[in-house]
Amino acid sequence: MSETQTVTPPVATAPDVGGLVEDLTALLGPDLVLTDDRSLDKASQDGSYLSPILRAQWPIGRPEVVVRPTSVDQVPAVVRAAVRRGVPITSRGKGTGNYGQVVPLHGGLVLDLTALRGIDHVDPEAGTVTAEAGVRMMSLEKRLARDGSQLWMYPSTVQSTLGGFLAGGSAGTGTIVHGRNHEGFVEALDVVYAHPDAEIVHLEGDDAQPFVHTYGVAGIIVRATVRIEPLQDWRCVYASFDDHHDAFSVVPRIHRLDPAPRLCSADGAHVAGCLPPDEAMPPGRASLRAIVDASVADRVSALVTEAGGVVEAVRSGVNESIKVSTLSYNHPTHWLQKAEPDTW
């Protein structure tokens, strides 16, 4: 055999979890390889508790081991070890998805990527940022704001990770203008395939798209380059109405403004009353919250008044935009369930 030839180690015919734990401990040290009940239980759940149908089926899967690599370069070695030992791999971010995507249905290894939080490169001229899979979307948006930039979009669950949003998410704050996360948001990905010779593979353009919104099944995302744009001067408008029909009637009118809003969300009085208390959401009234460009804020106020509503507050700043985002999409369901357990 020549010195340049390599031999791929054989893949186990049956899962060898004990052997994998030994391999991973040797690779990463004992602190990053977890087999205690608390860690395994935490890695068995995500936001699917919001669905009574899914919650009734819990537990639907539990790993035998959780590993938390602290650098992107460690991931291929972890994957190679799991494949050699025949142990299924489930990649995981913050576990904020609502549909059980990160629950290890077949047990095995949960690959927790939340420690991969590096922001590698911000390029306003190219309109991109490159960051590791575990960086939180909220942290990324705040970091970009300091440089006068913003993400094309981010999920309303702002604690979600970049890799988790790309693999398991779909839409969020900013999608009124830019569409969903698999419609031009992603410029490039670094992924790891689950095979015995796993390495980091860099993919750009069309080659990267099959890994977006496919839940990590096609490949494990460890780094991503996504689209950014110049930071807009946003205003967070809170309005209240006697009747939710009046609140709802304003939403399409705001949607048609130019520049378009970054987000617009409305709820009836009962739902709004279950959201975190805020003087801008008075009890007993329907609520509308919108993130709009400063140039149309007065027009939004006029639309609210024309529909019989009251503008309760107009706020600015990246933290305020993030707050409005967390009160939108599926988050009212979360607050309803907290306020009225076993009802919604």
pLDDT by residue (tens digit) across 195-250?
A: 999 999 999 999 999 999 998 889 999 999 999 999 999 999 999 999 999 999 99
Stretch 187-198: mean pLDDT: 97
> β-pairing, 89-92 with 109-112?
parallel
What predicted TM-score, i.e. pTM, was given to this entire model? 0.92
Q: Choose the final residue of a domain: 112, 146, 179.
A: 112
Other beta carbons less than 10 A from residue 71's beta carbon: 12
Give a yes or no: residue 1 inside a domain. no
Residues 51-98: tens digit of each pLDDT: 888 888 888 899 999 999 999 999 999 999 999 999 999 999 999 888
Average pLDDT, the chain: 94
Counted domains in the chain: 3
In this prediction, residue 325 has a pLDDT band, given cuts at 50, 70 and 90, of: very high
Stretch 19-28: mean pLDDT: 98
pLDDT score for 291 = 98
CATH number at residue 330: 3.30.70.2190
DSSP assignment, residue 211? G
Q: Choose the final residue of a domain: 85, 112, 139.
A: 112
CATH number at residue 22: 3.30.43.10
> β-pairing, 200-204 with 220-230?
unpaired
* 183 and 261 part of one domain: no
* 77 and 32 part of one domain: yes
Stretch 25-53: mean pLDDT: 94
Output b/e per residue, 303-340; b: 16+ Cβ within 10 A: bbeebebebbebbeebebbbbbbbbbbebbebbbbeee
Give a yes or no: residue 328 inside a domain. yes
Pairwise CA distance, residues 130 & 134, whole Å? 12
In this prediction, residue 12 has a pLDDT band, given cuts at 50, 70 and 90, of: low
In this prediction, residue 8 has a pLDDT band, given cuts at 50, 70 and 90, of: low
More confident residue, 13 or 162: 162
pLDDT over 50 (residue 5): no
In this prediction, residue 13 has a pLDDT band, given cuts at 50, 70 and 90, of: low
What single-letter amino acid sits at 157? T
Domain range spanning residue 92? Answer: 17-112
* 70 and 96 part of one domain: yes
pLDDT score for 215 = 87
Range from 84-88, 103-107, 220-224, 300-304 carrying the lowest mean pLDDT: 103-107
